[in-house]
Structure 1
Amino acid sequence: MSRFLQPPALKKLSFVTYSLVLILGVALLLSTFRSDKMLRPQVLTYTLQPSVGPATVQNQIAGTTVLKGQSAHLIGVIGSKALLVSAFLEHRTVPKKVLVIAIMFRKEKVSLLCNLLCSEQLLFSRASISIHQDHFGFPYGTADVYCPLSPNWQAPTHVAITLADVWNPDKTGLEFLEVQNQKVLNVFPYNFTSCFSAMYNYTNVLQLVQTVEMLQLLGVNRIVIYKTNCSIETQRVLDYYTDKGLVEVVPWSLSEYLKVSRRAKPSQDPGDIHYFGQIPALNDCLYRSMYRSKYVALHDPDELILPQMVDSWSELLPLLEKRYGANQCFIFENNFFPTEFTLPPPPPDVLPAWGLWRDVSGPNVLTHLYSEPAQPKPAFNNYKIITNPRSVFVVSVHGVLHSLHSCSWVDRMSARMYHTKTRGQTGLKVQQLIYDGRLLSYSGRLTAAVSTVLKETQLLPD
């Protein structure tokens, strides 16, 4: 045997000893690679052209594209079933991370690489993936893709996610998301933001206008709506409120990528993901409101959280924080008001206006004031929340999955949610319903405001 086939230093070792040393060495090497290369940020840089800045829309890295922070354009991860929604700088962890909200096929096991654009360099780190526990049994679920950052890196302005085992040295074909929430703010332009998720085939124009006008009376000054599609009349209303700066419409194009279910469970309506992708939309709204709004409310256009002792959320929230503690999420009991049951004729002072509304599609919430009896706890309640977004990491349809502080149930005598919708066959009789006229205390101001909007959007004659 040639002496060049075996290192001289190992000649005296037995074959077994040599094999053990070799195995241990490889194991140590793999362990080091996994810990340093897969879990920690890699200080590996890719220098861009000097003319390229982080704010450019068309990046000059050999054909890559940087997309602004809109959820309208979902990005697929090449070689994977994952879809990327949006990206945010997460300041609350040590060290800081970039959070990418994603939608992932739960059975797919992938390793992802973060391509982070920092100033004029491209840096890399291995991503960690956490799929949210609330997926309701659908094949796809919302996921948090975390990109660890080295302490000596500048804050990245854009991120692209690729498969970790596919090396693309010239970075062709990458699509970058803008990393939002670059700065921690303590003064916010908005006091209350309401998030409406998954507007799909929406036609309830009257109820939408009533809800938006009612929310303004309650103190809301920003509403974010995730819209797939709607009627022409609904779009006219959305354009009206967008022009006023009250509503931000996020085009929600998930149905172009996945078969969205129209129900809460696969047994009710099979599909790829729960209820039009409501959960990733809600998490996106939470994070895009993180440093823009003092409070965030997660609810639907047919739901109103009404104070019982005061007239607005602006008065209610300080009372709740004094009673339950600050920086919490507040849970409001759901009460169904079936649209199948209608009040007797309305009061004379509002009768003319309500008559004009009859040709506008959607229920008039002021005429449905009989609620179903609330189910006693611990029965599930379709509650919704108002929260300080900076105390929450992960939300679901009903409540919070991960937060810095606990959530508190609000006593129904302080505030509760009014959910006006068609209920179908519930087995309840009229005698079992409970009259609740709280909404009528707003009827004068609400009726005038709604009629004004309907006239200005040409949905009512002048």
Structure 2
Amino acid sequence: RNKDAVNVRFSGKVDYRCHLRCENQLNISSGFRFIHHDHFGFPYGAAHIMCPVPPSCESPAHIAITSAASEPKGTSFLCIVFFKNKTVIIIVNFFFTGLVQSLEMFKILGVNRVVVYKTNCSMETQRALNYYAQTGFVEEVPWSLSEFLSVSDYWSPEHNPGVLHYFGQIPALNDCLYRHMYQAKYVAMHDIDELILPHWVDLLPLLEKNFGVDKCYQFENNVFPNNIVLPPSMPETKPPAQGCWKSVTGVNILEHLYQEPVNLRNVGKSFKIIVNPQAVFTTSVHGVLKSTNGCVWVNRTIARMYHTRFEATWFGLNML
């Protein structure tokens, strides 16, 4: 499968040409566009450009896509690389403390690589990213759609204006899916303030055994409010600061142990997923839009997602 995740306005028709290099030969086919229906009410959204692979070029090494009306001179080609057995996380927005703690938690959980889709960050956060990138644990993808579109920094156009949903989150998710389709055994799609527990080295083989290897696994969201330090039945005093975290800005997830009661009306709206990328065609924020074998719910007694954020009850039921 060869596709590119792009942003399109929901009008007009464009013809595409797919340029596929295979064994020093250039093959050209007609591409067509598939627009995602999940765009949260914004005028722009994600789309895939589908490129049929000719029988004479089953394993293309490079691909480029142009408009059928444009001159292909000087076209830049993307290299197609095949690897295996890496676990990838996608992150879009983050703050320093949560970033470092989550990256260290990902290591403990058995993650092999974290992919950061960076919109913007402080110098302090960039130094942390540079450190993890040098170790090979983090791959940083500049995500600067705001240079081309007025992107919203929220999930709904009613809450924040813009023509594209939440910094271009859905195109980023699909970009990550296809960028690592032949590099990763699993791709986990969730935010920096979300952790799927328990340990993945034990969890993923169990899910494969119970549900199959070509599935999308859905995990229930459990909210731990970042304004509550201890459960209400306990004294409202902060525990002693954990060493060097005392002077670090941001939310320390280790301090927030109180869990909101699970709202059954919201269970099917705010879950996140781990997928076999080769079994998925298109994905969205909560679940996949098209896959080969669908998704399965993971029972919360086996695994669940821990989400440290503001109280969900402040802003209703449809939060990301």
TM-score (norm 2): 0.89
Pair 1:358 & 2:253 matched? no
Q: Are 1:334 and 1:381, in contact at CA under 8 Å, matched by a contact in 2?
A: no
AA aligned to 1:371 is Q
Aligned residue number for residue 226 of structure 1: 117
User: For residues 60-459 of structure 1, what are the structure 2 equivalents within 5 Å?
Assistant: 90=1, 98-153=2-57, 155-164=59-68, 166=69, 168=71, 171-172=72-73, 174-181=74-81, 183=82, 188-190=84-86, 192-196=87-91, 198-199=92-93, 202=94, 204-307=95-198, 312-343=199-230, 351=240, 354-377=242-265, 380-423=268-311, 426=314
Which stretch has the larger CA shift, 403-412 or 284-293? 284-293
Residues 366-417 of structure 1 show CA distances to partners (whole Å, capped at 9, x for unaligned) of 1111121111157543111111111111111111111111211111111111
Q: Are 2:63 and 2:80, in contact at CA under 8 Å, matched by a contact in 1?
A: no
- Deviation, structure 1 residue 358: 2.1
AA aligned to 1:217 is I
Structure 2 CA distance, aligned partners of 1:125 and 1:258? 29
If you compute each CA radius of gyration, which structure gives the higher value, 1 or 2?
1
Report how many residues are paired: 311
- Deviation, structure 1 residue 105: 1.4
Distance 1:316 1:268, change over 3 A: same
Residues 251-288 of structure 1 show CA distances to partners (whole Å, capped at 9, x for unaligned) of 11111111111111222222121100011111111122
Structure 2 CA distance, aligned partners of 1:148 and 1:389? 19
Structure 2 CA distance, aligned partners of 1:281 and 1:269? 19
Q: What secondary structure sits across from 2:192 in the alignment? A: coil
Which stretch has the larger CA shift, 335-344 or 227-236? 335-344
Distance 1:180 1:256, change over 3 A: same
Structure 2 CA distance, aligned partners of 1:425 and 1:400? 26
Structure 2 CA distance, aligned partners of 1:416 and 1:220? 16
Residues 136-195 of structure 1 show CA distances to partners (whole Å, capped at 9, x for unaligned) of 12111111101223212464433333332x263xx43x43231424x4x6xx242x2211
AA aligned to 1:336 is V
Q: What secondary structure sits across from 1:148 in the alignment? A: coil
Q: Percent of counterpart pairs with the same letter?
A: 48
Structure 1 CA distance, aligned partners of 2:219 and 2:312? 24
- Deviation, structure 1 residue 114: 2.2
- Deviation, structure 1 residue 242: 0.5
Q: What secondary structure sits across from 1:370 in the alignment? A: coil
Greater helix proportion: 1
Aligned residue number for residue 69 of structure 1: none
Distance 1:379 1:330, change over 3 A: closer
Structure 1 CA distance, aligned partners of 2:110 and 2:170? 25
Q: Are 1:158 and 1:176, in contact at CA under 8 Å, matched by a contact in 2?
A: no
AA aligned to 2:135 is K
AA aligned to 1:129 is R
Distance 1:422 1:377, change over 3 A: closer
AA aligned to 1:294 is K
Q: Which runs of 5+ in 1 are unaligned?
A: 1-89, 91-97, 429-462
List structure 1 runs of 4+ shifted beyond 6 angstroms.
none
AA aligned to 1:316 is L
C-alpha RMSD of the superposition: 2.2
Q: What secondary structure sits across from 1:250 in the alignment? A: strand
Question: Higher relative contact order at CA 8 Å, sep ≥6: structure 1 or structure 2?
Answer: 2
Aligned residue number for residue 17 of structure 1: none
Distance 1:411 1:221, change over 3 A: same
TM-score (norm 1): 0.63
